[in-house]
Structure 1
Amino acid sequence: MADIKFEIKETVGVLSESAKGWTKELNLVSWNDKDSKFDIREWSPEHDKMGKGVTLSNEELKKLKEILNNIDL
């Protein structure tokens, strides 16, 4: 399997942290030298390992924000 190149351009926020130090984060990430997208996934403390996640375009993030704003918690 080919290596995946990534660069975290901006950490928007940390959503949670596990007992082992992994953090679930919302970041702006460039994957394989492409334009940055918003990304939600778990990262190891050194950010050298990652879990599965979801990558969102600006439009998808705006739509998600609208949906979340309409949830009554």
Structure 2
Amino acid sequence: MAEIKYEIKESIGSISQSPKGWNKELNVISWNGKEPKFDLRDWAPEHEKMGKGLTLTLDEVKSLRDLLNSLKL
């Protein structure tokens, strides 16, 4: 399997932490040297390991924001 390269361009914030110390974080990440995208996934404390996640373009983040804002919570 080919090595996946990533660079965290901006750390936006953490939304939760597991009992094992992993954080669910929203970051802007460049994957394999490509255009940075928004990324939501679990990370080990020093970003040495990561869980499965979700990567979104700016337009997708805006659509998600609009959907979340329409919720009656």
Task: Determine the structure 2 residue equivalent to 1:58.
Answer: 58
Unaligned runs of 5+ in 1: none
Within 2, Cα distance between the matches of 1:72 and 1:3?
A: 43
* Aligned-partner residue type, residue 68 of structure 2: L
Could you give the per-residue CA deviations for residues 13-61 of structure 1, whole angstroms, max 9, x where no partner exists? 1010011110000100000011100000000001011000000000000
Percent identical: 59
Task: Determine the structure 2 residue equivalent to 1:30.
Answer: 30
Root-mean-square deviation (CA), in Å?
Answer: 0.5
TM-score between both structures, scaled by the size of structure 2: 0.97
- Count of residues paired in the alignment: 73
Unaligned runs of 5+ in 2: none
2:31 aligned with 1:16, yes or no?
Answer: no
Within 2, Cα distance between the matches of 1:10 and 1:21?
A: 21
* Aligned-partner residue type, residue 57 of structure 1: T
